[in-house]
Amino acid sequence: MNYIKAFAPATVANVACGFDIFGFAIEEPGDVVEVRRRDEPGIIITDITGDEGRLPRAAEKNAVTVVMLHLLKHLGLSDFGCEVVLHKNMPLGSGMGSSAASAVAGVVAMNELLDCPLSRQELLRFAMEGERIASGSAHADNVGPSLLGGFVVIRSYNPLDIFSIPVPADLFCTLVHPDIEINTKDARYILRNEVSLKNTIAQMGNVAGLVAGLMKSDYDLISRSMVDVIIEPVRSILIPEFNVVKQAAIENGALGCSISGSGPSMFALSRGEETARRVGEVMQRTFRDAGIEASKHISGINQGGPVILERS
Ligand code: HSE
């Protein structure tokens, strides 16, 4: 193989109560990475589109190529030569798993170019290195679902223990991105290190309830469990109109609504596509009424994860 073009989807991390342990993939948008062999050793980035020139072009600084370098080192192929093109199809600092989608598309494309020496599950720890570079923290709740598809639970980070759970077929996500930027590093920095026993108990109940609700297709239980008493109260102050937008989503039929990843995007889950679309309209309008431009995506839960778009 000389050339691979791979797509990896955007993701919603945390899913209200599951900070750093829950995430799911959506159908669109997603980032695309092209990798082409070259005779000279080393990885070079030849182009990045859609980032307005903001991402690093040096291979050892960009999340896409960092994951490739880790993979090549692990395989004893540090002299492998290739050219990389990254197409960013979502805003940076959006809470849509932007860096994760790039890292996953990169590591999947490189693995494919090498005739797939590793499984998707085995690629996870390399993709997590992209998150470490991008946000200072190797969390897996974006790279996990982007790489494996579906709704992912990270039971443990050390040792890494990650698995997917089934979700109801009629579950739809509304993802609304207000046109502001929040850096994940900053959004993690403002969190408190200590959590009260009372809040821990409430959060554990909701985590258990959400898993059970998704697996049993119990929409009322999903709805009651989409409550975050630890992270959302702190981070929501970074998102203008958060409470109004959330209230509008719930009043229009959403099962629940919270911050997507570290924000500023907000997501809602709904039963059925029609409700998800109505919720999207009202969330977008509420932001716009407050003078904040916002874009939206409506999607089922993406069960497939990355896609190889071209190979030659
Ligand atoms: N769990 C991470 C956080 C996801 O909330 O900081 C970042 O997208």
CATH value at residue 183: 3.30.70.890
Does residue 110 line the site of ligand 1, with CB under 6 A?
Answer: no
Contact 151, 165 (CB under 8 A): yes
Nearest protein CA to atom 1 of ligand 1, as residue = 20
Closest CA to 263 of 86, 16, 9: 16
- Which atom of ligand 1 sits closest to the CA of residue 100? 8
Are residue 147 and residue 184 in the same domain, yes or no? no
- Give residue 222's pLDDT: 98
Are residue 35 and residue 59 in the same domain, yes or no? yes
CATH value at residue 155: 3.30.230.10
Closest CA to 147 of 102, 116, 117: 102
- Give residue 9's pLDDT: 98
d(CA 311, CA 6): 9
pLDDT digits (tens, 9 = 90+) for 61-118: 999 999 999 999 999 998 999 999 999 999 999 999 999 999 999 999 999 999 999 9
Q: How many helices and strands (H and E) does the chain possess?
A: 10, 11
Cα of first residue to Cα of last residue in the chain, in angstroms, is 6
Mean pLDDT of 255-268: 98
Token code pair at residue 59 = 């291979």
Catalytic residues: 131, 184
Are residue 22 and residue 127 in the same domain, yes or no? yes
Are residue 89 and residue 217 in the same domain, yes or no? no
d(CA 9, CA 31): 7
Are residue 235 and residue 157 in the same domain, yes or no? no
pLDDT digits (tens, 9 = 90+) for 199-245: 999 999 999 999 999 999 999 999 999 999 999 999 999 999 999 99
d(CA 157, CA 226): 23
Are residue 69 and residue 149 in the same domain, yes or no? yes
For residue 38, pLDDT beyond 90: yes
| Number of domains composing the chain | 2
- Give residue 137's pLDDT: 86
Does residue 238 line the site of ligand 1, with CB under 6 A?
Answer: no
- Give residue 135's pLDDT: 84
Domain residues for the domain of 77 are 3-165+302-311
Are residue 42 and residue 153 in the same domain, yes or no? yes
Give the contacts of 46 (CB within 8 A, at least 6 positions apart). 83, 84, 85
Are residue 15 and residue 138 in the same domain, yes or no? yes
Does residue 280 line the site of ligand 1, with CB under 6 A?
Answer: no
Are residue 12 and residue 160 in the same domain, yes or no? yes
